[in-house]
Amino acid sequence: MTVANPLAEGLTDTLAAQPCTLVIFGASGDLARRKLLPAVYNLVLDGLLPAHFAVLGFARTHYDDSRFRAEARAGVEAFSRRPVDPARWPEFERMLHYLQGKPDDPASFASLKQRLEEIEREHAIPPNRVFYLSVPPSVIAEAVEHLKAAGLVAPPAPASPFSRIIVEKPIGHDLESARRINDALAQAFDEQQVFRIDHYLGKETVQNILVMRFGNAIFEPLWNQKYVDHVQITVAEEEGVGTRARYYEEAGALRDMVQNHMLQLLCLTAMEPPWSMDADVVRDQRLAVLNCLRPITARDLDCCAVRAQYAGGFVRGAEVSGYREEDGVAPDSKTETYVALKAHIDNWRWAGVPFYLRTGRRLPKRATEIAVQFKDVPPILFNIHSEAPLDANVLVFRIQPDEGMSLRISTKVPGARVRIYPVKMDFRYGSTFGDQSPEAYERLLLDVMAGDATLFMRRDAVEASWRWVTEILRAWENAPATLADYRAGTWGPDAADRLIQADKRSWRTL
């Protein structure tokens, strides 16, 4: 198999995508246009798709194959990490098919089965099917029920055609709704057939956390409460809610970012070494972190949880509206657009080490990072001046937009006097490998085709994360006055600064 770059070559070492048809529910929507179809196109360019493969779009919109292919090209031209290659486009276009149908209509699923069988004959594909549910959570249970009733779900069995289902977040809006969705999935699919997707886990830097920790002898001995002072995880968004106001009004920052993305970053940072890279072994260790998270209850709100909503302000010199002035937002909305938390992991490795999480919209820049700050050196030798202590060593995983890692160390400034200055050892994917990293959805789609669930959420982990988050949601419901505000274009409310400053620490400047 030929590949276009070393990053793609690395994927072929572990993945063996099997011939299949990818059925995208909600194929006329934004996710398919911006992420899924460009991801499949880039996999074509890298030569990573199986020889026998097709995509069947399924949505309410009245498209035909030609219109779907035209929309796919527009999406690739606008959002792909690589431009359209006229020589390769026909190869990709031939894979694309479309069926108009409704996810709540049993007759549409009879047509879906018939169309799938036609496509499989045309492309010589065995009846291996991957169903991608890019639909609202309220539709999931009914769609799964119709898939099963139409005979489109094959039970898992060795050497038999497979049926797999990909479910987009949010998996519910609290613990009980997550359980209902998981129960509905379990009525038709075995747990090993269900792939709950969190695209953050497909990002190169996120995957590299485990390599950095367990593939280098110098870090893991220091990765514990003896040497780590604290950890900061930041997910900052420059944009407001935009066209997602209706969804965001129901979700808020805690549900939208903390429950899935940020807790997964925390788990990868804090988990114990897995004894193998088997999917369930790795996921067991991530689950163990969630089970050790100390609950944040109503009595902990003042010291451990801040929520806020952006008011009008300026971003990059342009005036922007406040959240309550956005289209689709209630004028008296109590939805948080910013969250700061202080979390504790009550296990042997991390006892006493705070994990500070913050996420918000309309912040000064778009950036996601994990910063592990090590403890100060003793106040002797080069650190004797308490009024000007040495900067601490910090290891940073930059997840977006400038993917890479850096390590801050102290060094001597050249000259006769002993002057110490902090410097940064910096690794950037783009400068080292000379190419753009694959998008997260490229890796994750390949994993599903290969049946590798390592980077996906298991049911017990989804429910464990919701259990922790739901406790905070309930505490906030009983304390409506806890919603602060902050001006757009700033780094959040004063209350978030007070939260971390109470521990004689401060947020990093990004």
Catalytic residue from among 97, 146, 261, 344: 261
Q: Is the pLDDT of residue 484 over 80?
A: yes
Contact 297, 341 (CB under 8 A): no
Please compute Rg for the chain using Cα positions: 24
Contact 146, 109 (CB under 8 A): yes
Residue 98 vs residues 35, 131, 135, 198: alpha-carbon distances, Å: 17, 14, 16, 26
Q: Which residue has the tokens 């909600």?
A: 26
Residues near 223 by beta carbon (within 8 Å), at least 6 away in sequence? 213, 349, 372
What confidence tens digit (pLDDT) does each residue in 95-107 have?
A: 999 999 998 889 9
Q: Please state the rounded mean pLDDT for residues 1-11.
A: 41
Q: Indicate if 385 belongs to the active site.
A: no
Q: Please state the rounded mean pLDDT for residues 269-282.
A: 92
Nearest residue to 263 via CA among 191, 353, 182, 200 = 200
Q: What tokens appear for 182 in the block?
A: 């998981």
Secondary structure class of 248 (helix, strand, coil)? helix
Contact 187, 144 (CB under 8 A): yes
What is the pLDDT at residue 384? Answer: 65
Q: Tell the burial category of 450 from Cβ atoms under 10 Å away from its Cβ (0-12, 13-18, 19+).
A: middle
What is the pLDDT at residue 340? Answer: 97
What is the pLDDT at residue 434? Answer: 66
First-to-last CA distance in the chain?
41
Nearest residue to 269 via CA among 158, 355, 352, 176 = 355
Residue 502 CA to residue 497 CA, distance in Å, equals: 8
Residues near 243 by beta carbon (within 8 Å), at least 6 away in sequence? none
Residue 409 CA to residue 57 CA, distance in Å, equals: 51
Side-chain-side CA neighbours of 184 within 13 Å: the count stands at: 20
Residue 392 CA to residue 435 CA, distance in Å, equals: 33
Contact 118, 125 (CB under 8 A): no
What confidence tens digit (pLDDT) does each residue in 216-256 have?
A: 999 999 999 999 999 999 999 999 988 778 888 888 999 99
Q: Please state the rounded mean pLDDT for residues 409-429.
A: 76
**Helical (H) or strand (E) element with 425:** strand 420-428
Domains along the chain with CATH numbers: 6-168 (3.40.50.720), 202-434+463-501 (3.30.360.10)
Residues near 250 by beta carbon (within 8 Å), at least 6 away in sequence? 173
What confidence tens digit (pLDDT) does each residue in 147-156 have?
A: 999 999 999 8
Contact 8, 55 (CB under 8 A): no
Residues near 49 by beta carbon (within 8 Å), at least 6 away in sequence? 17, 40, 43
What is the pLDDT at residue 427? Answer: 85
Which DSSP string do the residues of 106-124 spell out, in sequence order? HHHHHHHHHHHHHHHHHHT
Confidence band for 277, pLDDT divided at 50, 70 and 90: confident
Q: What tokens appear for 27 in the block?
A: 């194929």
Q: Please state the rounded mean pLDDT for residues 21-31.
A: 94
What confidence tens digit (pLDDT) does each residue in 310-366 have?
A: 999 998 888 999 999 988 899 999 999 999 999 999 999 999 999 999 999 999 999
What confidence tens digit (pLDDT) does each residue in 112-171 have?
A: 999 999 999 999 999 999 999 988 888 899 999 999 999 999 998 887 899 999 998 878
What is the pLDDT at residue 388? Answer: 63
Q: Minimum mean pLDDT among 1-10, 78-87, 153-162, 308-317: which range?
A: 1-10
What is the pLDDT at residue 436? Answer: 67
What is the pLDDT at residue 15? Answer: 57
Look at 1 and 397; give whichever has higher pLDDT.
397
Fill in the amino acid letter for 209: I
